[in-house]
Amino acid sequence: MASSTIVPVQSENWDSTYEDVFWLYVGAVGSWLLLFICLVAYPGRQHDEAARIHYAMRWCRFAVGVLTVSHVYLIYLYWHSEEPLVPPYYGIGRPFLALVLCLFGLFSDSHPMFRWILGLGHSLYVVGDTYSAWRAAQWLTCDGNECNPAYTRQNIINLKYRDYVAIVLDIWCILLAGYFCVAQGFFSTRYQFVGSVKHD
C-alpha cells in the first residue's frame, strides 16, 4: 500500500493574510488622516502653514525613528540567523539601505530632493515589507517549521509584527512626503527652518 504525504492546506490562511494586510493599509491611511486633521485643526495653526510643516516634521521624525529601530532589529536577526540570505531578510542590504533612506527623511522639509527620496523610497519599502509580512504569515501556517527551517517560529512571529508596524509607518512617510511637496514645493522650498524658527 503506497504511503500518502499530507500537504498543509494554506489557502484559507493566505486569504486571511490578504485581509489582514488590506485592513492594515486602511488603518494606516485612516490614522494618518485623523492625525493630519488634528494637526490642521489645532488652534493657532489653521492659517499658519509654516507651523503645520514644523509639527508635521516632528511627526515624520517620530515615524522615521521607529522605522530605524525596526531596521536595526532586522540587522540583529541577520547576524543571529543561520541562513541570513533566505527571504524575508534579503541579506544586510535591506536594512542598511533603509537606514540611509530614513536619514533623508529627517531633513525632508529642507530640500525637494529629500522629499522625493522619502516618498519614492518608502513606496518601494512598503511593497517589500508587505511581501515580507505575507511570507512570514505563510511560514507560520506550516507544521513543524517545514517551510522555513532556518528560523525559529518566534523569530518569524516577531518579524511578521515588525513588518506590520513598518507597513503603517511606510504609508505615513509616503503621505507625509506628499504633504511636504504640496506645502513646501515639489521642486523648490517655500520656507526655510533653522531649529524651530521659520525664515521666509
| pLDDT tens, residue order, the chain (200 aa) | 444 443 444 444 455 767 888 899 999 999 999 999 888 887 565 567 777 888 888 899 999 999 999 888 888 877 776 655 455 555 677 888 888 888 888 877 777 888 888 889 889 889 888 888 888 887 777 755 456 556 677 778 888 899 999 999 999 999 999 998 888 877 766 666 555 445 44
**For the chain, what are the domain ranges?**
12-40+49-189
Q: What is the DSSP string of the chain?
A: ----------HHHHHHHHHHHHHHHHHHHHHHHHHHHHHHHSTT-TT-HHHHHHHHHHHHHHHHHHHHHHHHHHHHHHHHSSSTTSTTS-TTHHHHHHHHHHHHHTTTTT-HHHHHHHHHHHHHHHHHHHHHHHHHHHHHTSGGG-S-TTS-HHHHHHHHHHHHHHHHHHHHHHHHHHHHHHHH-SSS-S-EEETTEEE-
